[in-house]
Amino acid sequence: MRVCSHPTRREIMAGSLAAALATSVAGVPSIAHAAGGDGVHKLALGDLQITILSDGVLNVPTRLLNRDMNSATIEAALGEAGSASGQVQYGVNIVLVRSGSELVLIDAGAGGTWEPTAGKLADRLATAGIDPGTITKVVITHGHPDHLWGLVDEFDDSPRFANAQHIMPAPELDYWRKVSVETLPERTQGVAAGAKRVIATVGERLAAAAPDAEILPGIAFLATPGHTPGHCSVRISGGAHGLIVTADTLFHPHVSFAYPEWQPAADMDGAQAVASRRRLLDMAAADGLQLASYHLPFPGLGRVERRGAAYRWLSARA
Ligand SMILES: [Zn+2]
């Protein structure tokens, strides 16, 4: 779906554009596969309606793709998938599932204070004609800023999804609640302090669930620890094969598949993250599952095939 303009969050908050936007999208029919140059992509999965909303992009130095290699070696391995700038760009693709009367958001993006190129979820929801107050559940895969900080409206520090039950894997919530910021390396202290701040702001709306808990019939956590201690993906049943929301199990359309053993700097337990990545990719390849990947290029949809001991990403838009 497409609307004519891209109002900013500030413009929408300022007033009348919101009403105009709601009018302009009201008559757009829901179709099976609607691609969005506007950062909104829709698909059907059985009886479920899935909308993928772009929170923007993150610019990531290539040296962070592998903690054990120098930049030149990483760039060489990236080949055509690399860039001259020494950076790669990650998508930030947020999945919204409508299941009957439930509207389930999986991760909340970066909010407005992490990176200027991200934090666009509120605008994308407006583009899609979705009032944040109608979201019934928010599922958080892990506590990193680009997934968690969008829970809070940076304009008044209030919970953005005021009527939603928030759900986080129990070991993940436990980690961020208990971790002592001062004991962490300086470069990650802001991440932990931010997680604590957001978790406190969301307050009693936030509940812990087991890493294999069913969130709704057909929507369940899938434990994929390593990136963070309680990191989870989300498995959604529907259609012929179903779909996995991969969270940060995958981070790059070439590296995560051709070199699944690479340990990026952001993975807290690199070996455990590699095991989770292989388990998820093996499952998806064997069962023909669709993948909705958070950090691959928008909308991040595709499938995976085995390639010997490695894999290949088959983008749905290729
Ligand atoms: Zn992430």
Where in the sequence is the domain holding 56, given as residue range(s)? 9-21+28-315
294 Cα to the center of ligand 1, angstroms: 7
Query: What's the structural domain count of the chain?
Result: 1
In a domain, 260, yes or no: yes
Task: Find the mean pLDDT for residues 40-67.
Answer: 94
217 Cα to the center of ligand 1, angstroms: 26
In a domain, 3, yes or no: no
In a domain, 2, yes or no: no
* Cis? peptide before 299, omega within 30° of 0: yes
CATH code at 223? 3.60.15.10
194 Cα to the center of ligand 1, angstroms: 15
Q: What is the pLDDT of residues 154-168, one digit of tens each?
A: 899 999 999 999 999
pLDDT tops 60 at residue 19: no
318 Cα to the center of ligand 1, angstroms: 23
285 Cα to the center of ligand 1, angstroms: 22
147 Cα to the center of ligand 1, angstroms: 6
**d(Cα 211, Cα 223) in Å, to the nearest integer?**
5
232 Cα to the center of ligand 1, angstroms: 12
81 alpha-carbon distance from chain centroid: 21
The confidence band for 83, taking pLDDT boundaries of 50, 70 and 90, is: low
- Whole-angstrom distance between the N-terminal and C-terminal Cα of the chain? 20
In a domain, 284, yes or no: yes
Q: What is the pLDDT of residues 209-244, one digit of tens each?
A: 999 999 999 999 999 999 999 999 999 998 888 999
In a domain, 1, yes or no: no
141 Cα to the center of ligand 1, angstroms: 9
Map tokens 């990531």 to a residue: 60
103 Cα to the center of ligand 1, angstroms: 22
The whole-number pLDDT of residue 240 equals 82
